[in-house]
Amino acid sequence: MSGKYFNGVKTMGLFVLLWVVLLGVGSFVGGGQFIWIFAMLGLGGTIYGYWNSDKLAIRAMHARPVTEVEQPTMYRIVRELSAEANQPMPRLYVSPTAAPNAFATGRNPQNAAVCCTEGILQLLDERELRGVLGHELMHVYNRDILIGSVAAAFAGMITALAQMLFFFGGGGNNRDNPFGPFAMLAMLILAPIAASLIRMAISRTREYDADEDGASLTGDPLALASALRKLERGTQTRPLPPEPSLENVSHMMIANPFKGEGLANLFATHPPMDQRIGRLEEMARKNGQYF
């Protein structure tokens, strides 16, 4: 079984878990009669976030569109990779921040945008930048924006239902069930945590996919591995400030833009860098590439 197939199965399994948690919490709130209201609200939030993902992320990073005259290397790489993938050329942006990072967004390849920070453009050489841009383009081609939006909406619904359970005390036949109070308390505390962890696991799975697919697109997994090593050091030296607008788009970036310490790593949207680098190096070895 290929890594790509395994990650796809894992993503589907995680979505099933989100449904199980959602239905479990919903069954406690008013006997489950309000769960469809939350489902509709979640669907509306998903559609809005998915449709406007490019605008929200670009605005949060204060990015501006750049011309080919301003960023000839970035344009040349993205044009070549888009042609190799037989996909349209996305819009290109640069964010005026020293924190090294990059992200791609947009609801489909026809409405995609790729953004690099000034920090990453200064940090990486052309070969490493090509690896990063290949990774970001694959997020668009794999429809990861939609997947992330749906996972976020599910997690939001679960948290909202748990809060409703707390304020209104649930409902249904809990009084007739001797385990009702304990089950309700466990659901109240654990469901939002479980939803967040599952959402994070989905994001990590998509990062592994983008690493593998991006390295296949460029034909150079070692370039991306080298870039990730530099980004690990760079993001820890120059992290982004933990502002809400930036936290909402941090999962789109190629590297965790914040300093992760202690339990914060448990809820990180990105897999550990050493694991990502190890996978890419193993991919290079299988391809007969040595370093």
Q: List, by residue number, the catalytic residues.
A: 136
Q: Count the Cβ atoms, other than its own, within 10 Å of residue 167.
A: 6
Measured CA to CA, the distance from residue 58 to residue 116 in angstroms comes to 10
- Burial pattern 210-241, b for ≥16 Cβ within 10 A else e, equals bbbbbbebbebbbbbbbbbebbbebbeebebe
The candidate with the shortest Cα–Cα distance to 57, out of 157, 144, 173, is 144
Q: Could you tell me how far CA 225 lies from the centroid of its own chain?
A: 19
Tokens, residue 126:
């052309």
Compute CA distances 91 → 112, 133, 183, whole Å: 6, 13, 50
